[in-house]
Structure 1
Amino acid sequence: MGESGGEGRAVARFVERHRLPGLVDVHTHFMPERVLRKVWAYFDAVGPLTGTEWPITYREEESRRVELLREFGVVAYTSMLYPHKAGMAEWLNGWAARFAARTPRCLHTATFFPEPGVETYVRRALDDGARVFKAHVQVGGYDPCDPLLDPVWGVLAEARVPVVTHCGSGPAPGKHTGPEPVARVLARHPRLPIVVAHMGMPEYGEFLDLAERYPEVRLDTTMAFTDFAERISPFPAAERARLADLGDRVLFGSDFPNIPYPYVHQLEVIERLGLGSDWVRAVCHGNGAALFRLG
């Protein structure tokens, strides 16, 4: 469990050092309680996949998790949620819409799955005000090039609504993870605003290539550069200069609450990259504020 007092002060010092108006966190998880419990059970057992234990630092009640983000100075965040089978996504979208309505700093988040009717409920979520979508290729076990999803990618590209996509092969590869399936989607929908979760871990270089090729491709920092991730999938030092060049397309993400270290650690390792305070301000606030058109 997190002891927020000292950590809150540490986050506040980070915010002050970089003259930030607050943090925009593009990758936080809120979902129905019984679904979240199953996610936590997965992480409790994930050691055999990664060879490393994965304790949940913020295994708190929902109201406390919301309060913690407020204490950390997060001015906008998401409720990343995702189905692992057909028939779940529309129900999850209903829950997420209600959560965003009662949680002022949460961006209305939605999701989808390759199934009949997917375009209809994605359009309905957009009409209801969804501002960001989550696609989890690894957990869903689906091919992003599935013909059922082609109209969905087109709708999101037209609406200019970003989709945070777990498409890299970390922490364990899936049948359709890696850069190739996403590259095929982008070839058909070059204006699709994809945010590659976890910097594309562990295929960092290949996803940076996609960001250089497609101006609407972004990457979130979620877990990347942390001591935990560096033991499993280290970010190549040779690629660091490309992070500076793509500074307007890197977004802060934390994976809160499902992280095996304190929230402030993700901020400290972004700072530790040594790319300068302007870069840190853009990553931790400016880029997200621009993407989501925050006032």
Structure 2
Amino acid sequence: MDEVWGLLAERGVPVVVHASSIPLPGRCTGPAPIGGLLEYHPTLPLVVAHLGMPEYDEFFELAETFPNVRLDTTMTFTDFAERGMPFPARLRPRLRDLGLAGKVLLGSDFPNIPPYAHQLHALDRLDLGDDWLRAVCWDNADNLFDLSSHYTRSAGHL
């Protein structure tokens, strides 16, 4: 896979990875293997699903260390996740900083569970501010995927 990862890094293609060690740990999952991958390909644009749940600390560190590593919010903060693997309150300041720095993206698992609206509500009830919520729900993905220019170009063709 090294050649594939290298090509993705070279082209700047964002890749969403289910990188945490749940539901089952493996030799390619968890923060250590992902950190090793990033040592070889430090510019690889990775989006770590579920904020790396439950290894939040380690995946936050990777996002803080590598410029193109981002985290998505899929399932985190929902009632289901908070019952089984609650997000540590001590990490909220880092979550806020990462979100405002463009490192946290809305993830939904849409159309899977839980319902999309519940995931949005779960982010809103974190009470991290309108700027954070706007960044996570739109601006950060817009910057990564250049969505605004796409919609501007598309609108010109109507």
Q: CA deviation at 1:174?
A: 3.4
Q: CA deviation at 1:175?
A: 4.1
Contact 2:49 2:74 in 1 (8 A): yes
Partner of 2:144: 291
Out of 193, 196, 199, the position equivalent to 2:51 is: 199
Partner of 2:154: none
Q: CA deviation at 1:177?
A: 1.7
Asked if residue 265 in structure 1 is aligned to residue 118 in structure 2, the reply is yes
Runs ≥4 in structure 1, deviation > 4 angstroms? none
Out of 278, 281, 293, the position equivalent to 2:131 is: 278
Partner of 2:105: 251
Partner of 2:77: 225
Q: CA deviation at 1:254?
A: 0.5
Cα 1:227–1:172 change in 2 (3 A) is farther
Distance 1:235 1:179 in 2: 17
Partner of 2:60: 208
Q: Structure 1 length normalisation: TM-score?
A: 0.48
Whichever residue aligns with residue 257 of structure 1, its letter is P
Whichever residue aligns with residue 28 of structure 2, its letter is H
Between Structure 1 and Structure 2, the one with more helix by share is: 2
Q: Structure 2 length normalisation: TM-score?
A: 0.88
Q: SS in structure 2 opposite 1:223? A: coil
Distance 1:175 1:184 in 2: 12
Partner of 2:153: none
Asked if residue 173 in structure 1 is aligned to residue 11 in structure 2, the reply is no
Q: Deviations over 1:79-121 (max 9, x none)?
A: xxxxxxxxxxxxxxxxxxxxxxxxxxxxxxxxxxxxxxxxxxx
Asked if residue 189 in structure 1 is aligned to residue 41 in structure 2, the reply is yes
Q: Percent identity?
A: 63
Q: CA deviation at 1:208?
A: 0.1
Contact 2:28 2:34 in 1 (8 A): no
Whichever residue aligns with residue 3 of structure 2, its letter is P
The correspondence of residues 92-241 of structure 1 with structure 2, limited to 5 A, is 149-241=1-93
Higher relative contact order (CA 8 A, sep 6+): 1
Distance 2:139 2:38 in 1: 25
Unmatched runs of 5 consecutive residues or more in structure 1? 1-148
Whichever residue aligns with residue 276 of structure 1, its letter is G
Distance 2:75 2:65 in 1: 24
Cα 1:255–1:176 change in 2 (3 A) is same
Whichever residue aligns with residue 207 of structure 1, its letter is F
Distance 1:253 1:279 in 2: 15
Unmatched runs of 5 consecutive residues or more in structure 2? 150-158
Q: CA deviation at 1:274?
A: 1.2
Q: CA deviation at 1:169?
A: 1.8
Distance 2:40 2:126 in 1: 34
Aligned length: 146
Q: SS in structure 2 opposite 1:246? A: helix
